[in-house]
Copies of this chain bind each other. A is one copy, B any other.
Amino acid sequence: MTKKQEPPVTIFEVAERAGVSIGTVSRVINNRNRVSPKTRQRVLEAMRALNYQPNGLAQRLASQQTKMIGLVLTQVNDPFYYPIVRGVEDTVSAAGYTLLIMSHPPQRNEHSLKRPLWQNMVDGLIWVAVSVDVKEMLSIIKSGVLVSLVQQELSGSASSVLTDNYNGMVALVRHLVETHGYQRFAYITGTNYTADSSERLRALRDVLSQHALSLPAENIVTGDYLHGSGASAMHKLLALPERPQVVVAANDQMAADAILAAREHGLRVPEDIAVTGFDDVLLAQYTSPALTTVHQPIYEMGAQAARLVLDGLRARQEGREWLPLKVVLPTTLVIRQSCGCRLEEVQPAKGGDV
């Protein structure tokens, strides 16, 4: 049966039992102004006796501070992002905030009745790797919500956390060219919602041209970062008149699928064709051969994004000046076997973020 609900105990009942006013109860709850030790004691006892829990909604409404931060995860269907959620959650809750998850993006313009119900309830917003409608975003920011973007920029208006995609890819491609001497490259792209796939491609091109190598247009095939697209991309590449020596994938998932696809074609990786990834997720350690890839500090991306909005909130509260920041986190090359390096030379396994 549905339990009959005893009406929740309010601050009035606590006040009554303690023989004080509700203002005083509020003061001991918030530990703000001074309250005499005896009174405080009485109030605490009353709270305990009644098993009182303050109503968070009322607290927030009265204090005009929501103490909530939203995390927008639309279009993100990639396990890659899970550590970001944890990074955000840990940071935000350590600061006494509560995290709202929203898979549907805010819609500020529409006045339909089915608008998301979390509107006007967050002090800050963290927006991950999705194509942002700039107008909409600016309108949200104007309404006073502090915004951090992950893997995206909105210069001047919102903080953003990026990773050094360019230099990570540069290090990887240098290794492929200088250590292995590969000349015929191919690239499997990610989606173009964010700039990272194209930045990685730009780095690839730059290093190649520094070595007087080129990347023909037909050697670039489109993927979507997700399970499956790496295989079809690989099939296309293997139908090319001249087989590439190395396939650079925009992320680990597609690289893993590319390896499987190459094997279906009877090719050995890396002997017949090398494959590399990007991200260094856990999966990269289990493919066969294990993936040479670029490590991204995923958890830290979330933690940083959260820190940026918390800093801004604090500054605003203290009336300090504050500017949206752009933080670029470092990436590092992780050499395993899929590039053609021999097992013996392998560096110790490095854990992906979990």
Contact = CB atoms under 8 A, between A and B. Distances in A.
A54 interface: yes
A44 B111 CA distance: 8
Dominant secondary structure of chain A at its interface with chain B = loop
Interface in A51-69: 51, 53-58, 60-61, 66-67
Contacts of A320: 2
Given A85-B101, A316-B2, A79 B354 contact: yes
A144 B287 contact: no
Interface stretch (A114-122, A177-185, A195-203, A207-215): A114-122
A1 B283 contact: no
Residue from A29, A31, A108, A288 with most neighbouring chain B CB atoms (10 Å) = A288
Given A101-B89, A117-B97, A120-B56, A2 B312 contact: yes
B98 A100 contact: yes
A288 B47 CA distance: 59
Nearest to A316: B2
A103 B89 contact: yes
B104 A354 contact: no
Contacts of A19: none
A139 interface: yes
A119 B316 contact: no
Given A93-B102, A99-B100, A111-B48, A57 B55 contact: no
Nearest to A1: B321
12 contacts: A2-B312, A31-B113, A53-B120, A57-B61, A79-B82, A85-B101, A93-B103, A96-B117, A97-B117, A99-B100, A283-B286, A287-B288
Nearest to A110: B48
B60 A57 contact: yes
Contact of A119 (B53, B78, B114): B53
Contacts of A286: 256, 260, 283, 286-288
A314 to B, nearest CB: 11
Contacts of A114: 96
Contacts of A119: 53-54, 56
Contact of A283 (B51, B58, B116, B283): B283
Interface residues of A, number: 78
A141 interface: yes
**9 closest A-B pairs by CB:** A288-B288, A56-B121, A5-B144, A98-B118, A82-B82, A57-B61, A99-B101, A2-B316, A2-B322
Nearest to A121: B56
Contact of A66 (B3, B48, B57, B227): B57
A66 to B, nearest CB: 7
Nearest to A317: B2
A8 B79 contact: no
Contacts of A113: 29-31
A91 to B, nearest CB: 11
Contacts of A351: 227-228
A286 to B, nearest CB: 5
A329 interface: no
Nearest to A157: B3
A35 interface: no
B144 A8 contact: yes
